[in-house]
Amino acid sequence: MEFRHEVISFPKQLPIKFFLHRIGQVNRHWHQSLELIINIKGSVHITVSNQSYELGAGDIILINSNEVHELHAEDATMIALQIKLELLKEVSTDVQKMYYDCNSARSGHPDRFKPLKRIVAQILKYNIHPNEYIDLKNISLVYELIYELGSNFSTDGKDINSYSQENLDRLSRILDYVNSKYSDPISLQNMAKTEYLSVPYLSKYFKRNMGMSFSDYLKDIRLHHAVNDLLNESLTIDKVAAQNGFPNVRSFVVAFTEKYGELPSVWRRKHAGEMLGSIEATKEKSVNYYQDEPLSYYEDITAFIESNLESAPVDLPQRIGSSRTSLIKVPAAGSGQGLRHHFKNFIGVSRAKEVLLADVQQALRIAQAEIGFKYIKMHSLLDDDMMVYNEDAEGKPVYNFQFIERVFDFLLSIRLKPLVQFSFMPKKLASNLEKTVFYNHINTSPPKSIDKWNGLIRALTRHLIQRYGLEEVRSWLFCVWNEPSSSNLLFGFSHDDIFNQLYQNTYTTVKQIDSAIPFGGPAAFSTYNKNEDWLFQFLNFSREQGCTPDFITIHYYDIDLWNYNGQDNQLNLSPVSHSFSEFIDRLKQRLHESRFESLPVYLTEWNSTVSHKDLMSDTCFKSAYIIKNLTENYDRLDAFGYWLLTDLHEENLLPQQLFHGGLGLFTYNNIKKPSYHAFSFLNKLGNERIAGGDGYFITRSSTGFQILLHNYHHYDEVYAKGVSISISYHERYSHFPAKSRKEFNFELAPVSGTYDLIEHLVNQQFGSAFDNENNIGGAMEHSADEIHYLRSISVPKLSKSRVHASGALPIQAILEPFEIRLIEIIEQIVP
């Protein structure tokens, strides 16, 4: 399989294109451009014109125009520059006729290649955050690169024009045919007939130009695609062989074993779950998004730049501009739009057992006292660490609900009602003991006995009613499973029918006990660029079977799958800042068209990313992101369940670093992040909206007015594509090249009287725990005094002033990049 990530795509007038590669295999190909490859990590096996080389870390090679080459690597990171010589027409020297002998793998003089690496490092450095003059810098660096190649690596040792255009066209047609028809029963005889050539001539022609026989090349292409298909657990080995052109499974197994040194079945078991975002044939829209470590090249790139430039600060100085709004007149009188503050309907904790942790309980108490959420969403109520299900020697179920009682008792004590999610599968009830996810290996397989599953659901539901009372339980929410739309490698199943039957059985079991208990679902996973087809297929099924959910639950993350060469390989962040609104527009439109618009829609998981190691999650970026998206979509859904309450959870091995990019509103030791302050600001809004627009949301209450402001900036396309070149533990705001201050000017009218203006603000100087840690010198571990200090200083700035208004009240505010600010205007009774 091949993983390629384009970092910089230069303008069309520039003769160069720049890539960052992570490869498994790139089959034989050629191009008329020069290609300069620098291997910066791992080992690469490369074949150029039938000569093979091993590139180690730091090696560099130049592939000349029209040279056939292929690459293989298990885990390597490379920089590649493609240079279009035909665009250098104004150069007096005919560089297109030059041949370059540049290969450090066969040279004993590594210092000879340092100038080339220095130039490439400069290209990287200056294009991390380009300004408006970057094209001029790029042009100068391209010509410096060509000068260095021509001066020190050009040679007359080979005629690079030995391939005629006619020859190249013929070879292109043959390879295009093979690459598009590899799954069909094609042969050398077919190809010879198409090209009007004899079979012997074509056989010799192909081997002379490609360095291998036609049959071997065809076999390699078929294996290249078959490897990707093996990662799809829903496909049998027979099916993989058949859909990739092998005449029978035996020929596939023999070819695969010869190339990879092991049977396809063995290879599949070893690499299960390896391909991020694998799409299953039975779930075209499904996604496996779980990752232990997000794709990130910044350490490798930073090391390369620093080692090849004498002074290489990666973070180039950035100008912070300023934007100003025109005067915004705010109608202080008259009726406003009523608000119900649905953002408070849900908060989330990763696993039910975590609710029993002292630090998680403390975080929940703080959130309930200061904000006050209604429901809590959590996974793993039935996991083995909850000790819910066992079987005796005869195979009869044994139930134990003591841990569930302790979890629910605590939640009810702080006025939180549970979303009772029946998940995941106790091992004694699991149909596949190997189907597990996360650090604790929770089982996500369907039950081996639906009758025993129904018995467990029945016993637990009755126990809850007996312990807490029917009226109380009727005020809770119930559902089954989590993200069944995801890949079989994560929470989903190999076929949708499996989940549909699990849902129908669980729904029916609960409703038979008491039909008034709210039961919903299906916790479908959605992204910014994905149609919700799976969700609506499920809803149609439920309506046809008479088990329509009482409410709809859905998850949304601002991510999507990056597609390269027809394969979905890499999870990326949304490249546009309004994708959350587009998702809600799309969802509500389809609910209306499908006649499900009367059902409440609870967004029970929501965030900008699924990664627990996105370093921006600890910063002021996330607080501005929350304010922007919630104020632009206020109350449009019946819940906005931000995921997650705290970094203290057990999906991944907990990192040692305090600010490791976790999704929590709190750090794992309960320091409030800027994202928490965003919710505390929202909680101070009034019950009537009287104005709103770009960056502002204004409400009215019985005591006065509330102006909520944000200065949001979206990350650049490089970061959106998953390549965090210049970000590091200490520098996390570098992927925002156009950030600027934002000035607001309001006039509230009619307003008369005396008012207190109370301003709360969070930015990099105030209320940001990460930035505060940076200021005192971040470390892997902190003393108790340091934690206490960070907790005490990481609060929003507060200022207060008294103003008098006679007819109108002017308000002005200038926000720093990523700042959020709440201005409370409280009327005073002055004697």
Cα gap 344→373, rounded to integer Å: 5
- pLDDT of 624 higher than 80: yes
Tens digits of residue pLDDT in 658-708: 999 999 999 999 999 999 999 999 999 999 999 999 999 999 999 999 999
Q: Which of 94-108, 187-201, 457-471, 632-646 has the lowest mean pLDDT?
A: 94-108
Q: Which residue has the tokens 């039909």?
A: 515
Query: Do residues 687 and 339 make contact, with C-beta atoms less than 8 angstroms apart?
Result: yes
For 95, other C-beta atoms within 10 Å of its C-beta total 19
Which carries the bigger pLDDT value, residue 571 or residue 744? 744
Tens digits of residue pLDDT in 75-112: 788 888 887 766 555 555 555 567 889 999 988 788 89
Cα gap 388→485, rounded to integer Å: 26
- pLDDT of 726 higher than 90: no
Provide the pLDDT for residue 547: 98
Provide the pLDDT for residue 500: 98
Cα gap 346→605, rounded to integer Å: 9
List phi, psi (to 5°) of 489.
-75, -10
Tens digits of residue pLDDT in 42-68: 889 898 877 889 999 899 999 887 788
Residue 631 pLDDT class (50, 70, 90 cuts): very high
Mean pLDDT value of segment 282-309: 56
- pLDDT of 297 higher than 60: no
Tens digits of residue pLDDT in 8-20: 344 455 666 766 6
Residue 643 pLDDT class (50, 70, 90 cuts): very high
Helix (H, G, I), strand (E, B) or coil at 802: strand
* Burial of residue 601, with CB atoms counted within 10 A of its CB: 0-12 exposed, 13-18 middle, 19 or more buried: buried
Provide the pLDDT for residue 315: 45
Residue 274 pLDDT class (50, 70, 90 cuts): very low
- pLDDT of 426 higher than 90: yes
Residue spans of alpha helices (H) in 526-574: 533-544
Tell me the whole-structure pTM to 2 decimals: 0.75
Handedness of CA 99, 105, 108, 112 (dihedral sign): positive
Provide the pLDDT for residue 284: 31
Q: How far is CA 560 from the centre of its chain?
A: 7
Mapped to the 3 state alphabet, what secondary structure does 188-249 carry? HHHHHHHHCCCHHHHHHHHHHHHCCCHHHHHHHHHHHHHHHHHCCCCCCHHHHHHHCCCCCH
> Percent of the chain having pLDDT more than 90?
56
Measured CA distances, 259 to 42, 182, 392, 671, 675 (Å): 21, 18, 49, 53, 50
- In the beta sheet, which residues pair with residue 192? none
CA nearest neighbour of 19 among 1, 41, 43, 35: 35
For residue 704, the surrounding DSSP H or E stretch is strand 704-710
Query: Do residues 416 and 410 make contact, with C-beta atoms less than 8 angstroms apart?
Result: no
- pLDDT of 809 higher than 70: yes
Measured CA distances, 153 to 95, 107, 117, 205, 270 (Å): 12, 12, 14, 31, 43
Which domains, ranges and CATH numbers included, belong to the chain?
2-155 (2.60.120.10), 165-270 (1.10.10.60), 374-519 (3.20.20.80)
Q: How far is CA 696 from the centre of its chain?
A: 28
Q: Which of 68-82, 596-610, 739-753 has the lowest mean pLDDT?
A: 68-82
Mean pLDDT value of segment 610-633: 96
Handedness of CA 766, 770, 774, 780 (dihedral sign): positive
Mean pLDDT value of segment 715-725: 73
Provide the pLDDT for residue 656: 85
Provide the pLDDT for residue 266: 86
Provide the pLDDT for residue 272: 56
Maximum mean pLDDT: which of 187-191, 443-447, 564-568, 730-734: 443-447
Query: Do residues 139 and 325 make contact, with C-beta atoms less than 8 angstroms apart?
Result: no
> In one letter, which amino acid is 512?
Q
User: Please, what is the Cα angle at 47 between 42 and 50, to 5 degrees?
Assistant: 160
- pLDDT of 24 higher than 80: no
Tens digits of residue pLDDT in 118-138: 998 888 877 766 677 777 888
Provide the pLDDT for residue 138: 81
Tens digits of residue pLDDT in 504-513: 999 999 999 9
DSSP symbol at 100: E
Cα gap 801→797, rounded to integer Å: 14
CA nearest neighbour of 622 among 771, 512, 492, 725: 771
- pLDDT of 787 higher than 90: yes
Provide the pLDDT for residue 793: 97
Query: Which sequence positions are flagged as catalytic?
Result: 483
